[in-house]
Structure 1
């Protein structure tokens, strides 16, 4: 896996997030500095409550830091109006949430095509791209099904297709294979890896050590801090000692 060079797609500059105030404040992230470059897939690991999901929501502009800056392709998200931030999230960032977050009144193809249509792409063109995304993950037969007609694993694969459609330069995935069996999960990760090899940047939160084989780097969090970092293909040994070395 060869990481492409260039300016980072994502830069978290000394980013902190505190929930609440004063003595009752909870420090979800503490001065995290992280760059993700074009072509790079970064896996984020750590125990529950370490700040993994908070890191993703801040990186995607779904929440705002209480300290530091989030920069996506040179744009400081905190300096954007709500309208411009929404446009950046829709056009440049793809999300895979743990709860899938599919629109229940839309079919799989319609869910995937929606971001493109909101950007002014015609419905026929958006539908063609949606079908191509479904075929890429081997689930074209789900195109006309609604979310409540799909299993959890099928919904997850549709959510992955939606995150990867269009020219998304940054993909943020929170346990993207959590509802998938091992074979299907590996196939989904192969698609994510291919998107990075084509020039996108991605962060993947995972608890599965074997998934780090798809990553270029693995970043370990504990108590909101980055406590270690290693090559993806060598992460398994590091993870074994991680709980003892934070």
Structure 2
């Protein structure tokens, strides 16, 4: 991952990895109707990490589930690498999620019957990677996160922080062009949280696009851009100091 992230495929000029076009998600009808997202427009370029912030119930997690093809918008489009995922067959969408999209769930979502190493290797094996190669990649990912000691443990034999790091390793292993992370540092101490953000940052620097939900400004500072949601609406977005410094360094003198 940090030291062994795969070489990113060269993107088409000017084409974002992820585009959300007038994205709306409504739950319920009548008096019980809830507008989780209201006309969101957002594009994430290769190499860019975007942090999404906002109060509870602002639509942050809904945005991620729609971007990852785990839910269907009420209206609008989700475009991943130029493909409208609503137009994909269930089989094609499942293949895209395995190959191109890494998703870090807030509740880890590990398979209880599989060990840590098996959980990480599973998406690769489902995509046809030979078992021996997939397991070797999983062990490399665990080593990078200082987790080789839990390789043979099942989720209920690991702490919450260990499960979170295994989930992150699973999301980053392989050639994932889009990484979606819902509070990826929630169960981690500050030092480990910083290490996880360094991994996400390295994957984006290698050419992937990343979207991360966080409530911590210190973690959002690792991003290039911060998007603020409130009541399902994008109310503001701003470049981080990191991105501003990089742009200043690239300006001709």
- Deviating beyond 3 angstroms after TM superposition, the runs of 4 or more aligned structure 1 residues are none
Tell me the secondary structure at the aligned position of residue 153 of structure 2. Answer: coil
Which runs of no fewer than 5 residues in structure 1 stay unpaired?
236-246
Cα root mean square deviation, aligned: 1.4
Q: Deviation per CA, 1:170-220, whole angstroms, max 9, x where unpaired?
A: 000000000000000100110110000000001000000111110000000
Q: Tell me the CA shift for residue 24 of structure 1.
A: 2.6
Seen in structure 2, the aligned counterparts of structure 1 residues 234 and 118 have a Cα distance that, compared at 3 Å, is closer
CA displacement at 1:134 relative to structure 2: 1.1
Displacement of 1:7 in angstroms is: 1.1
The CA distance in 2 between the partners of 1:24 and 1:150, in whole Å, is 40
Equivalent pairs counted in the alignment come to 232
User: Does 1:159 pair with 2:167?
Assistant: yes
Give the aligned partner of residue 144 of structure 1.
152
> After the TM superposition, which residues 62-101 of structure 1 pair with which residues of structure 2 at under 5 Å, given as runs?
62-101=70-109
Which residues of structure 2 form unaligned runs of 5+?
1-10, 244-253
Using the TM superposition, give the Cα deviation of residue 98 of structure 1 relative to its aligned residue in structure 2, in angstroms. 0.9
Quote the residue 2:40 is aligned against.
32
* Cα distance in 1 between the residues matched to 2:148 and 2:32: 49
TM-score by length of 2: 0.89
Structure 1 counterpart SS, 2:98: helix
Q: In structure 2, which of residues 197, 201, 204 is the aligned counterpart of residue 193 of structure 1? A: 201
Deviation at 1:135, TM superposition (A): 1.5
Q: Normalising by structure 1, what TM-score?
A: 0.92
The answer to whether the 8 Å contact 2:171/2:179 transfers is: yes
The question of whether the paired residues in 2 share the 8 Å contact of 1:43 and 1:232 is answered with: no
Q: Is the 8 A contact 2:112 2:156 kept in 1?
A: yes
Write out per-residue CA displacement over residues 46-97 of structure 1, whole angstroms, 9 at most, x where no aligned residue: 0000000000000000001011100000010100111111111111100101
Corresponding residue of 1:242? none
Show CA shifts across 1:17-46 (max 9, x none).
000123431100000000001000000000
TM-superposed CA distance for 1:234, in Å, is 7.7
